[in-house]
Amino acid sequence: MLRKNLFSSIVCSVVLSAALSGCGGVGVRIEPAGQVATPASPTQEPAPPTPTAVPIATAEAVVVTVEPVQATEVLTATVAPIQVPAATVVTEAGQVRATEALTPTLAPVQVPAATVVAETTPACSEAQDRQVLEEVLKAMGQPNLAVDKVAIFGGVGTGETCIVELDLDLKDLSGPIPPQIAKLTGLRKLSMSVNKLTGPIPVELAQLKSLEYLELTSNDLSGEIPPELGELTNLVELRLGGNEFTGRIPPELGKLTRLRFLGLDNNRLSGQIPPKLGNLTNLQVLNLYMNDLSGPIPPELGKLTALRQMSLFENQLSGEVPAELGNLVRLTELTLHQNQLSGALPDSFANLTKLVAVTIRGNNGLCAPSSFKTARWYEPEMACP
């Protein structure tokens, strides 16, 4: 009951009044400690107690504003101690005598995440989506494109018919991606490849929680890849190759555990490959080639046991190839050429029986031991000296 009343008070506002009543809480009456009813004699009926409220110094109103939080968070509210004069407190549970001032110290209240209401995404509708898409096409220089030629409408589980797929490949789009495209909340696929789009990816795209396919390849997009894209946990394919993205690969992409295809190739990305990409255990294709990535190949990539293709060529990767890559038993293609890798390919590569193509030329002495001469991918120029 205390937790419930306290949480109610926090949301409404905690106002200390003479009656000590919360927003919807249990009423409390206070009697002076000296006015306790005298017990009646055995031969007469006791008079019912007549509680008299004691004036309490009015405290300033304390208003606690609770911002909307995500349902995965836990709200902790700490309430300062309240000094109450010595009194007899009468509640629904009975009478409690107090001989000195009561100083209740309320511990932080943990509000379960399920009870915190987060700001929800507004429902979509066909009429609204048509209007939004018309504005988006106009902003990208194609106001005459017919909505029905580029959009697929479908149900979104709410009884509404909304745009669920948007195919804008090869539509001669130009300028930045309009942030209002995030108002198409039913989108599952957004493809705008091979256009003339410029500027950064708007962080508003992270609001498209139903998105499964995001394809922006072969444009002139620039800036850093927003780490907020890691919140699109329904993504199956993320294709951002062939642009001018700079900065590091966001480690937050490691949260996209449904991802099967990750293409960040042919950009200007720098820094090291984030070890958190090893969390993408459903990944089948990893394309990071033609960037400025440096440092070692993280051994965590050895956890990508569903991987079939790993393309890391034309970077600045250094060090030895980690033995953990021998766990990638489904791997068919591994391209490592034009880096600064050194040493011999690890013996664990003997486990890669499906591997048919390996490129290692143009590195800093990277070679293949003679034990791999019978492998389908082996070429004589790979041999270690």
**In this predicted model, what pLDDT tens digit does every residue of 59-70 receive, in sequence order?**
443 333 434 434
pLDDT value, residue 160: 75
What's the CA angle centered on 28, arms 26 and 29, to 5 degrees?
Answer: 155
pLDDT value, residue 155: 79
Q: What fold does the segment set 126-382 form as a domain?
A: 3.80.10
Q: State the DSSP string of 17-47.
A: -TT---TT----EEEETT-PPPPPPTTSPPP
**Across the strands, what pairs with 295?**
317
What's the CA angle centered on 139, arms 135 and 141, to 5 degrees?
Answer: 120
Collapsing DSSP states into helix, strand and coil, what is residue 292?
Answer: strand
**Does pLDDT of 266 surpass 80?**
yes
pLDDT value, residue 77: 40
Question: Could you tell me which residues come within 8 angstroms of residue 187 by beta carbon, excluding any fewer than 6 positions away?
Answer: 163, 164, 165, 166, 208, 210, 211
Helix (H) or strand (E) holding 196: strand 196-199
Report the distance separating Cα 182 and Cα 175, nearest Å: 17
Give which of 144, 181, 64 is closest to 111, Cα–Cα.
Answer: 64
Collapsing DSSP states into helix, strand and coil, what is residue 49?
Answer: coil
Q: What is the b/e burial string over 356-365, where b = at least 16 CB atoms within 10 angstroms of the residue's CB?
A: eebbbeebee
Residues of the chain with CATH 3.80.10.10: 126-382
**Does pLDDT of 80 surpass 70?**
no
Q: Are 365 and 343 in contact (CB under 8 A)?
A: yes
For the chain, the distance separating the N- and C-terminal CA atoms, rounded to the nearest angstrom, is 78
- Tell me the average pLDDT of the chain: 78
Report the distance separating Cα 251 and Cα 236, nearest Å: 17
Which DSSP category does 277 fall into?
G
Indicate the range of 79-83, 198-202, 303-307 predicted with least confidence: 79-83
Helices (H), the chain: 2-12, 126-139, 147-150
Cα distances from 10 to residues 7, 56, 61, 90, 276, in angstroms, run 5, 22, 12, 24, 39
Q: Are 226 and 204 in contact (CB under 8 A)?
A: no
Report the distance separating Cα 92 and Cα 28, nearest Å: 8
- Pick 10 or 352 by higher pLDDT: 352
**Across the strands, what pairs with 30?**
89
**What digits encode the pLDDT tens for the residues 91-103?**
444 444 443 333 3
Find tokens 């200007």 and name the residue: 268
Residue 176, classified by CB atoms within 10 Å of its CB into exposed (0-12), middle (13-18) or buried (19+), is middle
Report the distance separating Cα 203 and Cα 177, nearest Å: 10
**What digits encode the pLDDT tens for the residues 146-191?**
999 999 999 766 667 899 999 999 999 999 999 999 999 999 999 9
- Pick 35 or 303 by higher pLDDT: 303
pLDDT value, residue 124: 83
Q: Are 254 and 230 in contact (CB under 8 A)?
A: yes
Question: Could you tell me which residues come within 8 angstroms of residue 249 by beta carbon, excluding any fewer than 6 positions away?
Answer: 225, 264, 269, 271, 273, 274, 277, 288, 293
Collapsing DSSP states into helix, strand and coil, what is residue 255?
Answer: helix
Its pTM stands at 0.69
Report the distance separating Cα 12 and Cα 62, nearest Å: 11
Q: Say how many CA atoms lie within 13 Å of 339 toward its Cβ.
A: 30
Q: Are 67 and 50 in contact (CB under 8 A)?
A: no
